[in-house]
Amino acid sequence: MRFDIVVRNARLPDSDGAIDVGVLDGRIAEQADDLGPGETELNAAGGLVAGGFVDPHVHLDKALVADQVPTNESRTLAEAIENDRERKRAESASDVKQRAERAIEMHVRHGCTRIRTHVDIDPIGGLTALEGVLAAREACSEIADVQIVVFPQEGIECAPGTEDLLEAALERDVDGIGGIPALERTDESKKRHVDTCLSLGARHDVAIDLHVDETDDPTARSAEYLAARTIEEGLEGRVTAGHVCALAGYDESHAERVIDLLAEADITVISNPGTNLMLQGQSDQHPKRRGITRVDQLREAGVTVASGQDNIQDAFYQYNNGHMLETASLIAHAAHLQAPAEQRAVWGMVTKNAASVLGVDHGMEPGTPAAFNVFQPSVRTLTDALRCRATPRAVIHDGAVIAETTGETTIG
C-alpha cells in the first residue's frame, strides 16, 4: 500500500520510542515500524508528532485592526466595544475577508487548523462581517476548517433589530448561535437574552456558544441561569460558555452550586486568558482580580475546560498571533498549572478539549482525521513544546502538508 503521507520516526505524546505514521484519504491510517512508502515522506527524526491545535473561541472578523482603533484608555471590555463601533460602521466585506484570511493563516502557521470564530451580527454592521468571514472561510477551505457562530456583540434587546438579523444570519451556512447577556440592562432582560439564544439554537439545530459573565461583578448570574435552562430544555452537551469570569468572584458556596450546575448541564467552559487578564479587574485597587474563571474547581467537578485566543490584535487586545501555545502558556500561569499532569491538562485545553467544543475528532489514533503537527527533533515532548512555544516544522490538515517552517538559529 502507498500512503499519501508517511511521517517517519515520529515521537507520539507520552511515548518513549519513535514510530512511523501513515496518512491515507485524509485520515491517520496506520502506526507501525517501517511502514511502506508514502507519496510524501517526512522524517520527524524523533521529534514530537501530535494532534493539531484547535482554537475554540476567536473573533476573526475584528482581528488585526489594533492600529485603526482608539487606545482603550480604561482597559475595560465596555470601552473596547465602544472603540470598535466606528471601525465596524465603515467596514466592508472585502476588508473583513482579507483580515480574516490573514488571521486564519497566522493560526495555520502555528499548527492550528480548526477554528471556531464568533462574528458580529448587529444593527451597526448588519451582515457585513458575516459576508466577509464566509468568504474567508471559503478561500481558506483547504488549509483550515472554520466554524462560524453568529454573535450579537451589541446585545439583543438593547440593540433593537438584532434578533431579526440573527434569524437572517442563521439562514446562512453557519454553525452556531452566540450571545452576550451581560450587555442587557436588567437581570430580566439578561435572562430573556439567554432564552432567545437557546431557542434559536434549538430551532436552527446549531451549536449554542455564549459569552457568559465576562465581568468581575460577583452578582452576575448568567452562567447559573444558562446551566439551569440548558437542563430544563434538554440541551445538555450542546452548550458552551465562554469566559465565565464572575465565577471567580463568587463566595465559595455559590461558586460550588454554579459549578455543579455547569457539570450537570454538560456545558464546556472556555477561558480566554489573554483577554480576561487584560480587561478584567480594572476597577480594583490592589490586590486586583484577574478575571480567570475557576479552572481547577471546574476540572475537579468534571467540567470540560478549553482555552481560546479570543482577540487577535484588535480593539480588545493588542497581542496574540494565532499561536495556541501562547494561549496555553497564559492559562498555565493564570490558573497555576505546572505539575506534569497539569501540563497535559493545559495541552488538552488547546487540543482535544477545544476539539470537543467544535465536535470534531482529535488525536493520533488510526481512523482520526489527519490534522496534526510535526515538531523539530529538539522538541520531543509536550513539555518541550510548551516551554519553547514551539512552531511546528510541518502542519498536516485534511491529509495534506499545508505549512512548513524552516530555519535554525546559529549562535557565535
The one catalytic residue in 157, 214, 224, 232 is: 214
Which residue, 30 or 209, has its beta carbon nearer to Zn ion?
Answer: 209
Binding mask 262-301 for Zn ion (x = CB under 5 A): ----------------------------------------
Beta strand extents in 233-377 (DSSP E only): 239-243, 268-271, 305-307, 372-374
Q: CA 162, 168, 171 angle in degrees (round to 5)?
A: 145
Segment contacting Zn ion (CB under 5 A): 40-48, 164-172, 308-316, 335-343? 308-316
Q: Between β-strands 3-10 and 19-24, what pairing exists: parallel, antiparallel or unpaired?
A: antiparallel
Q: How far is the CB of 310 from Zn ion (least distance, A)?
A: 5
Q: How far is the CB of 311 from Zn ion (least distance, A)?
A: 7
Beta strand extents in 239-290 (DSSP E only): 239-243, 268-271
Please give the residues from 155 up to 184 whose contact with Zn ion meets the rule CB under 5 A: none
Segment contacting Zn ion (CB under 5 A): 106-114, 138-146, 176-184, 303-311? 303-311
Q: How far is the CB of 326 from Zn ion (least distance, A)?
A: 16
Which residue, 276 or 391, has its beta carbon nearer to Zn ion?
Answer: 276
Which residue, 122 or 310, has its beta carbon nearer to Zn ion?
Answer: 310
Q: Between β-strands 239-243 and 3-10, what pairing exists: parallel, antiparallel or unpaired?
A: unpaired
Which residue, 119 or 402, has its beta carbon nearer to Zn ion?
Answer: 119
Distance CA 265, CA 276 (A): 24
Please give the residues from 342 up to 361 whose contact with Zn ion meets the rule CB under 5 A: none
164: nearest Cα among 120, 122, 224: 122
Which residue, 343 or 353, has its beta carbon nearer to Zn ion?
Answer: 353
Which residue, 44 or 305, has its beta carbon nearer to Zn ion?
Answer: 305
Which residue, 180 or 200, has its beta carbon nearer to Zn ion?
Answer: 180
What does the block give as the cell for 384?
518541550
391: nearest Cα among 409, 402, 379: 379
Distance CA 92, CA 99 (A): 11
C-beta of residue 240 within 8 angstroms of C-beta of residue 207: yes
Q: How far is the CB of 272 from Zn ion (least distance, A)?
A: 6
Q: How far is the CB of 279 from Zn ion (least distance, A)?
A: 11
Size of the site for Zn ion (CB under 5 A): 1
The one among 262, 310, 320, 382 contacting Zn ion by CB under 5 A: 310
What does the block give as the cell for 298?
471546574
Segment contacting Zn ion (CB under 5 A): 13-21, 170-178, 281-289, 307-315? 307-315
Instruction: For residue 214, indicate whether it is catalytic.
Output: yes
Q: How far is the CB of 232 from Zn ion (least distance, A)?
A: 26
Residue 30 bridge partners (DSSP): 22
**Amino acid letter, residue 105:** E
Cα-flanking dihedrals φ and ψ of residue 37, to 5°? -70, 160
Position with the least CB separation from Zn ion: 310
Q: How far is the CB of 6 from Zn ion (least distance, A)?
A: 39
Q: In the sheet that 239-243 helps form, which strands lie side by side, from edge to edge?
A: 53-58, 112-120, 145-151, 176-179, 207-212, 239-243, 268-271, 305-307
Q: How far is the CB of 226 from Zn ion (least distance, A)?
A: 16
Angle between helices 128-139 and 93-109 (to 10 degrees): 40
Distance CA 322, CA 309 (A): 7
- Return the half-sphere exposure (C-beta side, CA atoms, 13 A cut-off) of residue 275: 28
Which residue, 110 or 116, has its beta carbon nearer to Zn ion?
Answer: 116
Distance CA 4, CA 306 (A): 32
Place of cell 481558506: 140
Residues that bind Zn ion (CB under 5 A): 310
Please identify every residue annotated as catalytic.
214
